[in-house]
Chain A
Amino acid sequence: MASTRDIRRRIKSVKNTRQITKAMELVAASKMKKAQQAALAGNPYAQLLARMLARLAPRLTEVQHPFLNQREIKTRGILLLTTDKGLCGPLNANLFKLVLEVKTPAKFYAIGRKGSQFLARTKRDLVADFSVSDRLAFSEVKPAVELMVKAYLDGEIDTIEVIYPRFKNTLVQEPQVRPVLPLANLASFLAAAQTEAGTPADTNDDRDMLFEPSANEVLEALIPFYVNRHIYQLVLSARASEHSARMVAMKTAKDNATKLLGELTLEYNKARQAAITAEILEIAAAQFATG
């Protein structure tokens, strides 16, 4: 049996761990609240924007826009959204599994240090990595989007996709590959998302749509705007997932430490009692012998 001193030392270290994980849980919880709010508040906006484009796209058969047309996919462009820091459970590992499934040639872009490290480690074609601060302003995401859009227009990559942890709720974050460009199959993707979310389909109005000032002008403004906004929304969602995952991981760690502490305390008390009993026995035996 371990000596009381050893047990005491362990109790102390576990207590320390519990304190740290507890503090980290609280920090993550407060950040989570903000991140979730931001992600959820932006949702209706992003959805409405996507819906507008989805209704617009089929009516634009005569308009040629590089963002709209499907072309032969030689190289996929994938943006990987991960966290900068660890200690957030299986969040990043789940994303990496999705990355490993990509067998076709692809160029990677990363936001988040964990992702760029992973891509470098597995020797994938990492074009650029970006870091964003906790404040997560739109202007921080913009350079990444601009670089990808430029590569897309230059024909270096033939799609823009985003691998990110979709925020469902605090306990569930679902790794997902989300196609952003080209928009050719946007309508079908949206329909699938809508049935999943249980929202009713759009009102059917098959009269010709009017564009002001002109279809081209609206499109020119709307599409780049959509791409920016959309990716930004995904980043927000990823951020909400990160803090949720971290909070849950830290809570589990804290609970574990509490349990371990209980067991150790019990063991310590037993050892202490045993030592006292042994001491009394010794005294009694000594008295008996001399008396």
Chain B
Amino acid sequence: MPLTLEIVTPEARVYSDTIDTVVIPTTEGEIGILPGHIPLLTRVADGELRVTKGGVESHLAIGGGFAQIEGDTVSVLAEQAITAEKIDEGVVEAALKRAEEQLKAAPLNIDTSELERLQGAIRFAGVQLALKRRVR
């Protein structure tokens, strides 16, 4: 029985398809999910998510969140997610630079949520670049 994978971010539903297997980066390390997996709820770390469907492996960069596996449905809630083909190095590098500059210029009493947002952006940009360079 195939798995159903669903990746949702606040902006959009990035991925929704039936797949064979998926490897999710969690805070405890990567986990591979096959059909019939025990119900699981875990935290997702920034990293690279690998999906195999019909022998073809595709990659997504994903930024922090939660994943739930129940029955044959894998639901991933991520702050950000993007498929490898859609990553544009130029855009990512510009975003990374912008975030780093903002972080450098930030006052000492910066709002913690704003700080987290910037750090998250930098981490996610790093993940995207690493993924793009390796896949190519």
Answer whether residue B13 sits at the interface, using C-beta atoms and an 8 A cutoff.
yes
In the complex, which residues of chain B have a beta carbon less than 8 angstroms from the beta carbon of A229?
10
In the complex, which residues of chain B have a beta carbon less than 8 angstroms from the beta carbon of A280?
none
Whether A41 and B10, one on each chain, are in contact in the complex, defined by CB atoms closer than 8 angstroms, is yes
In the complex, which residues of chain B have a beta carbon less than 8 angstroms from the beta carbon of A64?
none
**Cα-based distance from A52 to B8 in the complex (angstroms):** 13
Whether A49 and B41, one on each chain, are in contact in the complex, defined by CB atoms closer than 8 angstroms, is no
Q: Which residue from chain A places its CB closest to the CB of B16 in the assembled complex?
A: A44
In the complex, which residues of chain A have a beta carbon less than 8 angstroms from the beta carbon of B75?
48, 51-52
In the complex, which residues of chain B have a beta carbon less than 8 angstroms from the beta carbon of A56?
41
In the complex, which residues of chain B have a beta carbon less than 8 angstroms from the beta carbon of A208?
38-39
**For residues 134 through 151 of chain A, which have their beta carbon under 8 Å from a beta carbon of chain B?**
138-139, 142
Whether A142 and B113, one on each chain, are in contact in the complex, defined by CB atoms closer than 8 angstroms, is yes
In the complex, which residues of chain B have a beta carbon less than 8 angstroms from the beta carbon of A211?
40-42
Answer whether residue B72 sits at the interface, using C-beta atoms and an 8 A cutoff.
yes
Q: Which residue from chain A places its CB closest to the CB of B117 in the assembled complex?
A: A139
Whether A48 and B6, one on each chain, are in contact in the complex, defined by CB atoms closer than 8 angstroms, is yes
Answer whether residue B114 sits at the interface, using C-beta atoms and an 8 A cutoff.
yes
In the complex, which residues of chain A have a beta carbon less than 8 angstroms from the beta carbon of B8?
44-45, 48
Interface size on B, residues (CB 8 A): 29
Partner of B41, one of A52, A138, A202, A203: A52
CB distance from B53 to the nearest CB of A (A): 20
Whether B42 and A209, one on each chain, are in contact in the complex, defined by CB atoms closer than 8 angstroms, is no
Answer whether residue A2 sits at the interface, using C-beta atoms and an 8 A cutoff.
no
In the complex, which residues of chain A have a beta carbon less than 8 angstroms from the beta carbon of B77?
45, 48-49, 52
Answer whether residue A207 sits at the interface, using C-beta atoms and an 8 A cutoff.
yes
Answer whether residue A85 sits at the interface, using C-beta atoms and an 8 A cutoff.
no
**How many pairs of residues, A versus B, come closer than 8 Å at their CB atoms?**
78
Partner of B66, one of A41, A142, A222: A222
**For residues 199 through 258 of chain A, which have their beta carbon under 8 Å from a beta carbon of chain B?**
202-205, 207-213, 217-218, 221-222, 229
**Cα-based distance from A158 to B14 in the complex (angstroms):** 37
Answer whether residue B21 sits at the interface, using C-beta atoms and an 8 A cutoff.
no
Answer whether residue B119 sits at the interface, using C-beta atoms and an 8 A cutoff.
no
Partner of B13, one of A44, A55, A221: A44
Task: Give the contact-size bracket for chain A.
Answer: 20 to 34
Whether B40 and A210, one on each chain, are in contact in the complex, defined by CB atoms closer than 8 angstroms, is yes
Answer whether residue A112 sits at the interface, using C-beta atoms and an 8 A cutoff.
no
Whether B28 and A213, one on each chain, are in contact in the complex, defined by CB atoms closer than 8 angstroms, is yes
Partner of A209, one of B12, B39, B72, B114: B39
Given known pairs A48-B75, A203-B73, A205-B71, the reply for A218 and B43 (CB within 8 Å) is yes
Whether B111 and A212, one on each chain, are in contact in the complex, defined by CB atoms closer than 8 angstroms, is no
**Cα-based distance from A45 to B81 in the complex (angstroms):** 13
Q: Which residue from chain B places its CB closest to the CB of A142 in the assembled complex?
A: B113
In the complex, which residues of chain A have a beta carbon less than 8 angstroms from the beta carbon of B111?
139
Produce 1/0 per residue, A37-59, CB < 8 A to B: 00001101100110110011000
Answer whether residue B17 sits at the interface, using C-beta atoms and an 8 A cutoff.
no
Whether B66 and A218, one on each chain, are in contact in the complex, defined by CB atoms closer than 8 angstroms, is yes
Whether A55 and B70, one on each chain, are in contact in the complex, defined by CB atoms closer than 8 angstroms, is yes
Q: Which residue from chain B places its CB closest to the CB of A138 in the assembled complex?
A: B113
**Cα-based distance from A203 to B73 in the complex (angstroms):** 8
In the complex, which residues of chain A have a beta carbon less than 8 angstroms from the beta carbon of B6?
48
Given contacts A209-B41, A212-B26, 7 further A-B contacts (CB under 8 A): A138-B113, A203-B70, A203-B73, A205-B39, A210-B40, A211-B42, A218-B43
- Chosen A-B contacts, 18 in total, with CB atoms closer than 8 Å, are A41-B10, A41-B12, A45-B10, A48-B6, A48-B75, A49-B66, A52-B66, A52-B68, A142-B113, A203-B73, A204-B71, A209-B38, A209-B40, A212-B31, A213-B28, A217-B43, A218-B66, A222-B66
